[in-house]
């Protein structure tokens, strides 16, 4: 997602977050665990980021404006130095007691997640002159995520016929292709009522309430304001369309010079004619309920089965691993052990695309087949058979989709 002035809202943020978490673990070692010093932390982070600046992750693109992951991470550390309130919140969370590496990294990631929205909200205000709070920036990101999920469901609507029907507000008859599926090409084409129905459908089709239908008051003002949702979707689409041609050659120099000068004077005259009489005035920036609401922490993940947590600890996996390491995509229906075993078979145990939640902190890679078998309470040969069966089902699904597309 791109908006004027923002730098941390694109998919490259995941690599920035991982780099900051990795360097923070090293930087916090040796500091007072209960009352770490901000100056010492910033100095150590500078050293750690400098040491990592030539790594593949640090040199990767962080956004569509040419900033690298390393540059964005350094800028955010500098912003932290200028905003000690976020650091104080982290220190208060660490004062509860010593934290393991996984929990410490999560607390650091939460701090930087809030900080990036504060920074981008301030830069958005400077670029547009309109008020913007971290909550509003979070709402923009939620709507962008919602659009992409709706687009994903529409693209494979036959496999999600019931949910797509719930989003459209009508049942989809057999043999009928909904015209909305072809009409949804960009975020401009996404309707506010689709977002509201998508959020309402998640509890029935995803197992958890959608972001607009939770008990949290973060999006309470959006739930009853489809016009505002539509305006925010259009704003995201307008700026993405505007910034998408940034690499095209400048075409204005193909025009005749006299035509350019004539257009220049026309714009000046229209500006003078549309100006408000009297002296210039700076209008007061007004906030609405979305900006005035106090920021809330992200909802805590659902607690996993205590028995599975005990099994995870018995194979040296950290607390909370079962609740966070959930396979996605075509493997969402498989068990945790089978899903991770499929990924390890197809991509290897240490692919760069794996989220941190899937990795064993002790090795930095996926758990071994022996660990996954113990977690599933089956023998190693049985886990291999289930893994191979899941791969066969996934291959058949791809072949079926390829046949339909053809």
Contact 1, 236 (CB under 8 A): yes
Token pair recorded at residue 94: 């660490």
pLDDT for the residue numbered 153: 94
Q: Model confidence at 247, in pLDDT bands (50, 70, 90)?
A: very low
Q: Which residues contact 5 (CB under 8 A, 6 or more apart)?
A: 120, 123, 124, 125, 126, 127, 128
pLDDT for the residue numbered 300: 56
Q: Which residues contact 159 (CB under 8 A, 6 or more apart)?
A: none
Does 275 have pLDDT greater than 80? no
Does 261 have pLDDT greater than 80? no
pLDDT for the residue numbered 362: 81
Q: pLDDT tens digit string along 329-359?
A: 667 778 888 988 998 898 888 888 888 888 8
User: What would the mean pLDDT of 183-211 be, rounded to a whole number?
Assistant: 92
Q: How far is Cα of residue 373 from the mean position of the Cα atoms in its chain?
A: 31
pLDDT for the residue numbered 102: 83
First to last CA, the chain: 32
The pair phi, psi for residue 68, each rounded to 5°, is -85, 165
Q: Taken in order 220, 226, 228, 234, is the CA torsion positive or negative?
A: positive
Of 88-97, 188-197, 266-275, the poorest mean pLDDT is in 266-275
pLDDT for the residue numbered 51: 94
Distance CA 321, CA 372 (A): 12
Q: Which of 233, 254, 260 is nearest to 145 (CA)?
A: 233
Contact 210, 200 (CB under 8 A): yes
Radius of gyration of the CA atoms of the chain, in A: 25
Distance CA 204, CA 403 (A): 30
Helix (H, G, I), strand (E, B) or coil at 67: coil
Structure letter (DSSP) for residue 8: S
Percentage of the chain modeled with pLDDT above 90: 43
pLDDT for the residue numbered 250: 47
Percentage of the chain modeled with pLDDT above 70: 85
Q: pLDDT tens digit string along 152-194?
A: 999 999 999 999 999 999 998 887 889 999 999 999 999 999 9
Residue recorded with tokens 């390491």:
325
Q: pLDDT tens digit string along 38-90?
A: 999 999 999 999 999 999 999 999 998 889 999 999 999 999 999 999 999 88
Q: Model confidence at 361, in pLDDT bands (50, 70, 90)?
A: confident
Q: Which of 21, 14, 9, 17 is nearest to 45 (CA)?
A: 21
E strands, 136-210, where?
A: none
Q: pLDDT tens digit string along 123-159?
A: 999 999 889 999 999 999 999 999 999 999 999 999 9
Q: pLDDT tens digit string along 294-321?
A: 666 665 555 556 776 777 777 777 777 7
Distance CA 48, CA 29 (A): 12
- E strand or H helix at 347: helix 336-347
Q: Model confidence at 281, in pLDDT bands (50, 70, 90)?
A: low
Token pair recorded at residue 85: 């309130």
pLDDT for the residue numbered 62: 92
């Amino acid at each position: 997602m791109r908006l004027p002035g923002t730098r941390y809202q694109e998919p490259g943020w995941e690599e920035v977050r991982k780099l900051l978490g990795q360097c923070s673990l090293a930087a916090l070692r040796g500091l007072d665990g209960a009352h770490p010093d901000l100056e010492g932390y910033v100095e150590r982070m500078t050293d750690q980021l400098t040491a990592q600046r030539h790594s593949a992750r640090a040199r990767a693109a962080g956004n569509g404006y040419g900033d690298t992951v390393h540059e964005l991470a350094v800028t955010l550390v500098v912003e932290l130095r200028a905003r000690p309130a976020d650091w104080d919140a982290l220190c208060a969370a660490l004062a509860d007691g010593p934290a393991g590496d996984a929990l410490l990294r999560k607390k650091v990631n939460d701090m930087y997640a809030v900080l990036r929205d504060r920074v981008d909200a301030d830069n958005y205000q400077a670029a547009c002159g309109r008020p913007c709070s971290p909550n509003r920036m979070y709402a923009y990101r939620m709507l962008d995520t919602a659009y992409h999920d709706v687009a994903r469901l529409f693209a494979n609507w036959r496999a999600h016929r019931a949910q797509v029907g719930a989003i459209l507000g009508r049942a989809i008859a057999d043999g009928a292709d909904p015209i909305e599926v072809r009409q949804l090409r960009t975020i401009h084409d996404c309707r506010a009522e689709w977002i509201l129905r998508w959020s309402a459908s998640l509890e029935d089709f995803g197992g958890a309430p959608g972001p607009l239908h939770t008990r949290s008051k973060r999006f309470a003002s959006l739930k009853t304001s489809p016009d505002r949702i539509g305006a925010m979707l259009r704003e995201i689409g307008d700026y993405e369309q505007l910034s998408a041609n940034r690499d095209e050659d400048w075409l204005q120099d193909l025009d005749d010079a006299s035509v350019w000068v004539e257009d220049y004077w026309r714009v000046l005259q229209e500006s003078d004619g549309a100006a408000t009489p009297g002296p210039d005035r700076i209008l007061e920036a007004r906030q609405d309920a979305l900006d005035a609401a106090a920021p809330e922490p992200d909802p805590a993940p659902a607690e996993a089965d205590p028995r599975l947590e005990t099994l995870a600890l018995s194979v040296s996996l950290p607390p909370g691993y079962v609740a966070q390491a959930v396979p996605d995509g075509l493997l969402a229906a498989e068990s945790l052990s089978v899903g991770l075993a499929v990924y390890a078979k197809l991509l290897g145990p240490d692919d760069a695309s794996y989220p941190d939640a899937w990795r064993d902190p002790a090795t930095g890679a996926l758990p071994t087949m022996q660990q996954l078998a113990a977690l599933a309470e089956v023998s190693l040969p049985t886990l291999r058979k289930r893994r191979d069966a899941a791969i066969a089902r996934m291959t058949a699904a791809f072949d079926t989709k390829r046949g339909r597309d053809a």
